[in-house]
């Protein structure tokens, strides 16, 4: 048998990221279809590129079903019988697009309460997101721009100060989640349900505070799903993404091989962590990460998507792993 390697990417034709998951248009490069009789599908507003090692079986393994012309959506699936041992989700930007109107607002409200004279605008926060972890983000910012006048002077006291700021920020963020002001991204619940139905282990692996991640899982996915999902978050590992530690820990704890895991990420640092852990990684772009370089991803989409605008499903995740089990 021959192996198949697939990478699909949606690239917005507009700079706006607000409609990342509302419209799609795809044109598949002719190189993919050398051995195919039918021309590729075209869609409204997006481009999909699928790269593979073409073989006698590869074209038939991936099915791209054109949905209703009213929706213009594409669905990537596969006839593969392989399923992941575990499906590992990042939290912020993957489960919920939390950063701009969730975490950033909560950081700023905390700074205002403490009268620190600091406010992070949208663009600045986008740059700060390159640093994994909220406490690490604040520390790096203050080290670069100067610590507030009412902040402690010693390094040890500053660690406690940062921890207290982060605790309050988490409380404010959790209040937003409990009020369900930030919805799940399209397709998240669907893909988790598919995985659980097939006996695939599901976990959330995040640099965010464990309480905040647990709140998202519990309030937005519901208690029935939450009790079946293991959470690895915050300071459970000493080094944050792009270090692979959190994904290595997840695989070890769940008792699965890293090579049998599929990770859903939205950022370059998350992708780097997943690949360094030896895992397959699908990127679903979020508001802050739409323009990042994801060339090392196994597949890139604008979102997971719910029918009739579904982008991919559990079978597609399995098809990315199949190359590891065929010779």
* CA–CA separation, 245 and 241 (whole Å): 8
Instruction: Identify which of 205, 276, 194, 300 has the alpha carbon closest to the alpha carbon of residue 246.
Output: 205
Do the beta carbons of residue 48 and residue 8 sit within 8 Å? yes
Do the beta carbons of residue 91 and residue 209 sit within 8 Å? no
Do the beta carbons of residue 169 and residue 110 sit within 8 Å? yes
Q: What is the dihedral of CA 73, 78, 79, 82, to 10 degrees?
A: -140
In total, the chain counts a number of residues equal to: 327
* CA–CA separation, 73 and 255 (whole Å): 37
* CA–CA separation, 147 and 116 (whole Å): 9
Tell me the HSE value of 171 on the side-chain side, using a 13 A CA sphere.
Answer: 9
Helical (H) or strand (E) element with 127: helix 122-128
Which residues are annotated as catalytic? 90, 92
Which region, left, alpha or beta, applies to residue 45 given φ > 0 means left and ψ of -120 to 50 means alpha?
A: left
* Residue 246 CA to its chain's centroid (Å): 14
Do the beta carbons of residue 309 and residue 24 sit within 8 Å? yes
Alpha-carbon separation of residue 57 from 31, 32, 288, 322 (angstroms): 16, 13, 37, 12
- Strand, helix or coil for residue 188: helix
């Amino acid at each position: 048998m021959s192996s198949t390697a697939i990478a699909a990417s949606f690239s917005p034709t507009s700079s706006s990221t607000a409609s990342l998951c509302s419209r799609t248009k795809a044109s598949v490069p002719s190189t993919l279809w050398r051995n195919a009789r039918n021309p590729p599908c075209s869609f409204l507003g997006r481009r999909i590129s699928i790269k593979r090692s073409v073989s006698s079986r590869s074209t038939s393994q991936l099915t791209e079903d054109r949905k209703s012309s009213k929706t213009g959506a594409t669905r990537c699936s596969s006839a593969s019988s392989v399923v992941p041992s575990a499906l590992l989700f990042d939290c912020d930007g993957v489960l919920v697009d939390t950063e701009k109107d969730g975490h950033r607002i909560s950081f700023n409200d905390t700074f205002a309460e403490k009268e620190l004279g600091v406010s992070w605008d949208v663009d600045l926060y986008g740059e700060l997101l390159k640093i994994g972890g909220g406490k690490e983000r604040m520390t790096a910012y203050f080290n670069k721009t100067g610590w507030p006048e009412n902040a402690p002077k010693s390094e040890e006291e500053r660690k406690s100060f940062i921890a207290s700021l982060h605790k309050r920020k988490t409380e404010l963020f959790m209040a937003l989640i409990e009020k369900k002001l930030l919805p799940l991204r399209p397709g998240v619940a669907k893909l988790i349900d598919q995985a659980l139905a097939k006996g695939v282990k599901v976990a959330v692996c995040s640099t965010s505070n464990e309480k905040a991640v647990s709140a998202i899982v519990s309030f937005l996915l519901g208690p029935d799903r939450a009790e079946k999902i293991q959470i690895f978050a915050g300071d459970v590992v000493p080094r944050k993404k792009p270090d692979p530690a959190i994904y290595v820990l997840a695989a070890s704890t769940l008792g699965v091989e890293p090579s049998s895991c599929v990770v859903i990420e939205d950022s370059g640092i998350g992708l780097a962590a997943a690949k360094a852990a030896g895992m397959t990684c699908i990127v679903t772009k979020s508001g802050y990460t739409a323009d990042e370089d994801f060339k090392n991803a196994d597949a890139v989409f604008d979102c997971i998507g719910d029918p009739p605008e579904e982008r991919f499903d559990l079978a597609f995740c399995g098809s990315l792993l199949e190359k590891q089990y065929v010779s």
